[in-house]
Amino acid sequence: MRRRLFPVAIVLCGTAFGQAPLNLTLPEAEKLAIQNNPALTAQQFNARAAAQGPVEVRSALAPTVFGSVTGVGADSGSRLAAGALNNPVVYSRIGTGITVTQLITDFGRTRDLTQAATYHAQAEDQVTQTVDANIVLETDRAYFAVLRAQSVLTVANETVRARQLVSDQVSELARNRLKSDLDVSFANVNLAQAKIQLAEAESDVQAAKAQLATALGTPAQQDFLLTEPSMPAAVEATADNYIQQATQNRPELAQLRLQVNAAERTVQAERALSYPTVSAIGTAGAVPAGESAIPGTYGAAGVNVNIPIFNGGLFKARRTEAEMRLAAAQKNVEDLQNRIDRDVRTAWLDARTAYQQVDLTAQLMDQARRALDLAQGRYDLGLGSIVELSQAQLNYTSAQIANAGAKFDFEARNSFLQYQSGNLR
């Protein structure tokens, strides 16, 4: 309850004193998103509704008991003369009683329908797991996007400070006739570019925070202090293990398999339509008021057998429809399995490449820093031009940005790989 009230407290505090940041770790962010997401709650209600399906179908196997109270006023000796094959005598009376019906056998049709409904309910549970995993994936992506944007913002601030220093130095040297106005122009252009990058980085941070707030279900919260998670383990050398895990763990695949099971039981149930159904019925009661010809109590029991003979091909059509739906469900499983294999391999390649880029961008940044130091030294000694220094600054900034985002890009792509292999939750 405290966690649900916390964002409200932040909004009230932010109104008067400025919004306080929300401290979060990645597991806390995932938990908060799951608690607040209305799509998951809606799917949970759908799953609970589907769980009532087996109960509804199974009720056909239980006895049905109902009570009746009948009052009739009729002319003495009246008989029904139309609308039926028989013409019983109709007496004025008041009758009360209880009737019990019980299905004895329908040759497994109700049992098969109950099992099919059970599989459908279990499939809805898998849909709930899919929604849950999607929420976690979107939260992870938003979380790492904020960390990446903040890291790039740090680089942008450092770049502005460094280029401001160069601009001030070159301007001072130009005033002392040691550098040309062209050098000052180049330095100022570089500084302006850095400030543009800083403005873009600040905007990206705010956009990433807004996306995270939406994923968490707290749109009023726009400031976060996020704990950087530890670096995940390296991606495996092949995608085979991830594909095997996806085959076993993906809820979407489990959902389609359950639908195949439900379709198989539906086919069996539709085939049972051609068999007879046997049921029993019993009734008993009293007639507290009526003509003297009617006894004061009554009771009867019987067995009824319904044998299908002809219904215009209805049962055959229903059986054929069920068989076609079963074939379609089986093909849907094959199609999804093929697409999962493709998606897992693609996610594995992306994660593997991102993992390699963590070290490669670090090496690139180290080389770019050395090149910048050499260019700065040559420029200070009058051996290099401002163009050479500007290019070295640009290369170093690009390398810094690439290195700043490499780790978080890998973590985001690794999270997607875990999602594709069914291991995110």
105-160 pLDDT, tens digit each: 999 999 999 999 999 999 999 999 999 999 999 999 999 999 999 999 999 998 89
Residues 67 and 98: their CA atoms lie apart, in Å, by 4
Would the pLDDT of 341 be above 90? yes
Residue 16 lies in a domain: no
Q: How confident is the model at residue 257 (pLDDT cuts 50, 70, 90)?
A: very high
Burial class (CB in 10 A: 0-12, 13-18, 19+), 46: middle
| DSSP states along 145-208 | HHHHHHHHHHHHHHHHHHHHHHHHHHHHHHHTTSS-HHHHHHHHHHHHHHHHHHHHHHHHHHHH
Residue 344 lies in a domain: yes
Residue 364 lies in a domain: yes
Q: Average pLDDT, stretch 53-82? A: 87
Which residue, 390, 400, 394, is CA-closest to 166?
A: 390
Residues 96 and 112: their CA atoms lie apart, in Å, by 37
What's the pLDDT at 90?
Answer: 82
Rounded to the nearest 10 degrees, how much is the dihedral formed by the CA atoms of 231, 237, 243, 248? -60
Residues 233 and 191: their CA atoms lie apart, in Å, by 39
Q: Domain holding 253: CATH number?
A: 1.20.1600.10
CB < 8 Å & 24+ apart, contacts of 214-217: 214/142, 215/29, 215/33, 215/135, 215/138, 215/139, 215/141, 215/142, 216/29, 216/32, 216/33, 216/36, 216/139, 217/32, 217/33, 217/35, 217/36, 217/37, 217/38
Residue 12 lies in a domain: no
Whole domain around residue 351: which residue ranges? Answer: 22-76+95-420
Burial 218-228 (b: 16+ CB within 10 A, else e): beebbebebee
Q: What percent of the chain has pLDDT over 70?
A: 94
Q: What is the pLDDT of residues 362-415, one digit of tens each?
A: 999 999 999 988 888 887 777 877 888 888 888 888 898 898 899 999 999 999
Q: 294 and 91 in contact (C-beta within 8 Å)?
A: yes
Residue 11 lies in a domain: no
Question: 210 or 222: whose pLDDT is higher?
Answer: 210
Residue 173 lies in a domain: yes
| DSSP states along 292-354 | TTS-SEEEEEEEEEE----STTHHHHHHHHHHHHHHHHHHHHHHHHHHHHHHHHHHHHHHHHH
Read off the pTM. 0.83
Q: What percent of the chain has pLDDT over 90?
A: 63
Residue 354 lies in a domain: yes
Q: 242 and 265 in contact (C-beta within 8 Å)?
A: no
Q: How confident is the model at residue 162 (pLDDT cuts 50, 70, 90)?
A: confident
Counting the structural domains of the chain, the total is 1
Residue 374 lies in a domain: yes
